[in-house]
Amino acid sequence: MREYLVTPGEMQAYDSYTIQQIGIPAPVLMERAALALRDEVRLLFPGPAGDGRGRGGAGAPGRLPDGPGRALIAAGGGNNGADGLALARLLSQDGWQVEAVLPGPPEKRTPEWIRQERILEHYPVSVRPAAQFLADRERRNPSGEGDRDGYALIVDALFGVGLSRPVEGEYARMIEALNRMGGFKLAVDIPSGVEGERGAVLGTAFRADLTVTFAFAKRGLFIFPGAEFAGQVRVKDIGIGPESFQGAEPQMFTLRGPVEEYLPRRRRDGNKGTFGKVLLAAGFEQMPGAAVLAARAAYCAGAGMVRVLCPGENRGVLQAAVPEALWGDPGEVRRALEWADAAAVGPGLGTSEDAWEVLKGLLEARIPLVVDADAVNLLAARGWPESAQRKGRALVMTPHVGELSRLSGVPVPEIKADPVSVARRMAKENDCVMVCKDARTLICRGEGPMCLNLAGNSGMATAGSGDVLTGLTAGLLAQGMEAFEAACAGVYLHALAGDLAAERLSEYAVTAGALVRCAARLLETPGEREGERP
């Protein structure tokens, strides 16, 4: 199942179309949002209403102070703040002692905010300006150290996804005060201060334990550094759906669910030839391990045959470790291409003249090709040879951020700040599918939908991990998958394998070899996986 990740502009368009064209009134959508928030609070604090003894999930405060539960809701003057005021009303009905703090000038408050404030007047909610709240806190505790105040729940409803400039003044002071306070921290739609499209932190940002976002997941919740501030993210349906796309789906998605959904179907009457033949140029310069990992991964992805082009001195290591693999002389790359259905080049390739000649031979062919690691570095240093076939072929490039920087000439910090723009441009210039490997790997073409991978963990930042991804992707290409789909499926399988390996070994102990073994186990039935270790 694909899950959409939308930009603030896309979300605004869907929201407006739902209200103005479909005809669901804004107050109805707002009430649904507030009810969704209230339901999440009830899950976090499942004890008797308002007794303050509930226990939340990850990041929850454990045993809370005795007596009525206290909740603080910081509500800005926009519709995000109006959601917060509606939640304040619902929590008061559940028995919470609710305090709403209101920053910003009254003249900038939206009509929906004003509506919710008037409704709130009929409920036992304490309301006061942020300036007064901050002054009282600074007077009681000038240092801000050990700043708890007994609130069980702190809700950030200051800014929504439309924030586009740095947070300053009273709002910044409010966010910093909220971050110093104890209690479980809940963000409404997006943590205030996190930019909704690129995940940038605009000056300062609320650090949430849980973000409840509405209708569709927002990109900025999953791209670092914004992802660090979002905590756990839950997407709640409030009545805005695909009916509001107006024929144009969101430009970014992520993959969810079993990986088998994204893999090619296996023919019951197939053989090793019909399941694809992978030609792999890897393991040069005393680096046979890279070839071993990539070859094993290609077989794991379903390839019927794998031939590895590597120097003769590494042949023994390769065939001892992967007896299924064929060996080939790097000097015969053009002949080997006549045999292959897809190829991959780069893992452990090095940057020697021999490596460059092999790369040139592979670039001249028209079969699907994965270009990784040292092959990317060679192209960055020497440029594309005139004989290269780029137009009309399935080409996947898999640079990490440093390699993408060398290829594009864009400094790493600038890529980190806006990976979509750089990856898009390089995909278009190189007429390829670009897999920009990072904590959140992005897969894109020069235009059209993009995939952001949200699976995986820090344990995958280990030597040989990229070699495994290359082999998986090449194995899928050899079975006839379209390049973009193969890249998305390869990245997802690789990441899920990383999560399984971390679950069984810890993130500290994940190795590239464990990734291959866990990728294979992911394709077994749950009963077969039970109790196994990589």
For 259-529, CATH gives 3.40.1190.20
Closest C-alpha to 410, from 380, 443, 444, 385: 380
pLDDT band at 67 (very low <50, low <70, confident <90, very high): very low
Helix (H) / strand (E) element for 119: namely helix 111-120
Residue 437 C-alpha from the chain's centroid: 11
pLDDT digits (tens, 9 = 90+) for 251-298: 999 999 999 999 999 888 888 888 999 999 999 988 999 999 999 999
pLDDT confidence of residue 144? 62
Burial 310-320 (b: 16+ CB within 10 A, else e): beeebbebbee
pLDDT digits (tens, 9 = 90+) for 467-479: 999 999 999 999 9
pLDDT confidence of residue 415? 96
Q: What is the distance between the alpha carbons of residues 229 and 195, in angstroms, rounded to a whole number? A: 11
Would you say 372 and 344 are in contact if contact means Cβ atoms under 8 Å apart? Answer: yes
Which is it for strands 433-436 and 442-444: parallel, antiparallel or unpaired?
Answer: antiparallel
pLDDT confidence of residue 146? 60
Q: What is the distance between the alpha carbons of residues 190 and 205, in angstroms, rounded to a whole number? A: 10
**Bridge partner residues of 184 (DSSP):** 153
pLDDT band at 54 (very low <50, low <70, confident <90, very high): very low
pLDDT band at 462 (very low <50, low <70, confident <90, very high): very high
Average pLDDT over residues 66-91: 90
Q: What is the mean pLDDT of the chain?
A: 92
pLDDT digits (tens, 9 = 90+) for 399-428: 999 999 999 999 999 999 999 999 999 999
pLDDT band at 524 (very low <50, low <70, confident <90, very high): confident
**Length of the chain, in residues:** 534
Average pLDDT over residues 8-17: 97
pLDDT band at 212 (very low <50, low <70, confident <90, very high): very high
Helix (H) / strand (E) element for 363: namely helix 353-364
Average pLDDT over residues 38-64: 60
Instruction: Label residue 338 exposed, middle or buried (CB < 10 Å: 0-12, 13-18, 19+).
Output: exposed
Would you say 478 and 295 are in contact if contact means Cβ atoms under 8 Å apart? Answer: no
pLDDT confidence of residue 253? 98
pLDDT digits (tens, 9 = 90+) for 437-455: 999 999 999 999 999 999 9
Give the DSSP per-residue string, 431-473. Answer: TSEEEEBSSS-EEE-SSS-EEE-----GGG-STTHHHHHHHHH
pLDDT digits (tens, 9 = 90+) for 101-123: 999 999 999 999 999 999 999 99
Q: Quick check: 49 pLDDT over 70?
A: no
Q: What is the distance between the alpha carbons of residues 533 and 517, in angstroms, rounded to a whole number? A: 9
Would you say 37 and 212 are in contact if contact means Cβ atoms under 8 Å apart? Answer: yes
pLDDT confidence of residue 497? 98
pLDDT confidence of residue 138? 85
pLDDT confidence of residue 285? 83
pLDDT band at 523 (very low <50, low <70, confident <90, very high): confident
pLDDT confidence of residue 148? 62
Q: What is the distance between the alpha carbons of residues 333 and 310, in angstroms, rounded to a whole number? A: 10
Q: Quick check: 52 pLDDT over 70?
A: no
| Torsion sign over Cα 230, 235, 239, 243 | positive
Yes or no: domain 2-44+69-246 corresponds to CATH 3.40.50.10260:
yes
Contacts of 44 (CB under 8 A, 6+ apart): 54, 56, 57, 60, 153, 184, 186, 210
In the chain, the largest separation of any two C-alpha atoms, in whole Å, equals 83
pLDDT confidence of residue 62? 42
> What angle (nearest 5°) sits at the alpha carbon of residue 356, between those of residues 352 and 362?
145
pLDDT confidence of residue 533? 47
pLDDT confidence of residue 145? 65
| Torsion sign over Cα 8, 10, 13, 18 | negative
Q: Quick check: 531 pLDDT over 50?
A: no
Tokens encoding 191: 């943590």
What are the strands of the beta sheet with 125-129, ordered from one edge? Answer: 125-129, 97-102, 70-75, 153-157, 184-188, 210-214, 232-236
Output the pTM of the full model: 0.92
pLDDT digits (tens, 9 = 90+) for 287-330: 999 999 999 999 999 999 999 999 999 999 999 999 999 999 99
pLDDT digits (tens, 9 = 90+) for 187-205: 999 999 999 999 999 999 9
pLDDT digits (tens, 9 = 90+) for 228-242: 999 999 999 999 999
pLDDT confidence of residue 271? 86
Average pLDDT over residues 137-143: 80
pLDDT confidence of residue 267? 85
Domain boundaries, the chain: 2-44+69-246, 259-529
Q: Quick check: 57 pLDDT over 50?
A: no
The percent of residues above 90 in pLDDT, for the chain, comes to 87
Secondary-structure breakdown of the chain: helix, strand, coil percentages, each rounded to the nearest 5? 45, 15, 40
pLDDT confidence of residue 452? 98
* Minimum mean pLDDT range among 97-111, 132-146, 203-217: 132-146
